[in-house]
Amino acid sequence: MIKNDLFLRALRGETVDRPPVWLMRQAGRYLPEFMAIREKYDFFTRCQTPELASEITVQPIRRYGMDAAILFSDILVIPQAMDIEVLMKPNFGPYLPEPIRNAADVDKVQVPDVTQELDYVMQAIKMTKEKLAGEIPLIGFAGSPWTILCYCVQGQGSKTFDKAKEFCFTQPEAAHKLLQKITDTTIAYLQEKVGAGVDAVQVFDSWGGMLAPDDYQVFSWQYIQQIVDALKGLVPVIAFGKGCWFALKEMSQSGASALGVDWTCSARNARYLSGGNITLQGNFDPSRLLSPPEEIKKRVKRMIDEFGKDKYIVNLGHGILPNIPLENVEAFINAVKEYHE
């Protein structure tokens, strides 16, 4: 039994005294204790070493006492497992030396045995569960197939992902074949994570908002739906599409337990578009954590009032930024813990 099950109760839509709170990217680069580890080990070493990944996962919990932990990892461990080389370049980000650009490239992509290729993630989950000692739930995650395709085809981060979109629009057969391979790998990966002990999973569609609404259904949502269908009977599933407010209606009918919302969509619109019955998560602008602590507290209270305390998980609208003062994060978390109507 998990002692603080507020997060899981919110995912089930139960009445709560206050909403739960956690932060996307809470295990990471704004924390001095994380930076100390980063100075010694490169990015993928941190991801692939269970002792390091589990330690990084619990660092923010020790400091702030969030209501859920999210495993320290990266969405790009999936293409790595599929035999696609992914490097993390300092001051640059992800870099794939041999991006996928045609059907022949897609044919070379492997659907791996995740129990072998990604066993280090499962070991990190088991170690993290030991460290959490039943106090709070642990979230596992994966990138959406479309978001993974964006990196695999573009070869790096991008403001437009023009090469990824060109690939989908000019070679749709190859694109769908690649998306299905990523989907099959992701389903096996998340199922294995559940077996290792995660209590919920989140699918991050970070680049879903790059697509027009009709293209989103074709190249992204139908693959996320496969993932939701495969996982929803095992654990609660959170679907988060950045910039995808236009798909909230379809998402709300998917069987997902909750939907993430970014800061460009108001609480009122998110409730309206999603039908008003599903748990929502979000949507504080990460940059607003640069405001003074008292301003943060006021805005958090207003945000909870607008969403309503039930069927709601307090979070940011995307990942926390590296330059956020520690006391501002504390103000955000404490504002939720101190909330009363």
pLDDT digits 0-9 by tens, 89-104: 988 999 999 999 999 9
pLDDT attached to residue 256:
98
Model's pTM, two decimal places?
A: 0.98
Is position 18 annotated in a ligand binding site? no
Which residue from 341, 60, 273 is spatially nearest to 259, judged by alpha carbons?
273
The answer to whether 157 and 93 are in contact (CB under 8 A) is yes
pLDDT attached to residue 301:
98
Is position 27 annotated in a ligand binding site? yes
Distances (CA, A) of 94 to 45, 79, 89: 14, 12, 6
pLDDT attached to residue 341:
77
Q: Does 339 qualify as catalytic in the annotation?
A: no
Among 29, 63, 101, 120, the one annotated catalytic: 29
CA dihedral 293, 297, 302, 303 (to 10 degrees): 80
- In CATH terms, the fold of domain 6-337 is TIM Barrel (3.20.20)
Those residues with Cβ within 8 angstroms of residue 62's Cβ, 6 or more apart along the chain or in another chain:
none
Is position 318 annotated in a ligand binding site? yes
pLDDT attached to residue 117:
98
pLDDT attached to residue 261:
98
**SS3 label, residue 316:** strand
pLDDT attached to residue 304:
98
Q: Where are the domains of the chain?
A: 6-337
The answer to whether 7 and 235 are in contact (CB under 8 A) is no
Q: Does 74 qualify as catalytic in the annotation?
A: yes
The answer to whether 80 and 118 are in contact (CB under 8 A) is no
Among 9, 25, 63, 101, the one annotated catalytic: 25
Q: How many residues does the chain have?
A: 341
**SS3 label, residue 94:** strand
Is position 25 annotated in a ligand binding site? yes
Q: Which residues of the chain have pLDDT under 70?
A: none
pLDDT attached to residue 45:
97
Sheet with 258-261, edge to edge strand ranges: 69-70, 138-143, 200-205, 237-241, 258-261, 279-284, 312-316
Among 30, 64, 151, 312, the one annotated catalytic: 151
Is position 216 annotated in a ligand binding site? no
Q: Does 29 qualify as catalytic in the annotation?
A: yes
Terminal-to-terminal C-alpha distance of the chain: 29
Among 67, 74, 184, 199, the one annotated catalytic: 74
pLDDT attached to residue 216:
98
Element (H, E) at 88: strand 87-89
Is position 246 annotated in a ligand binding site? no
Is position 258 annotated in a ligand binding site? no
Is position 162 annotated in a ligand binding site? no
pLDDT attached to residue 65:
98
Is position 134 annotated in a ligand binding site? no
Is position 26 annotated in a ligand binding site? yes
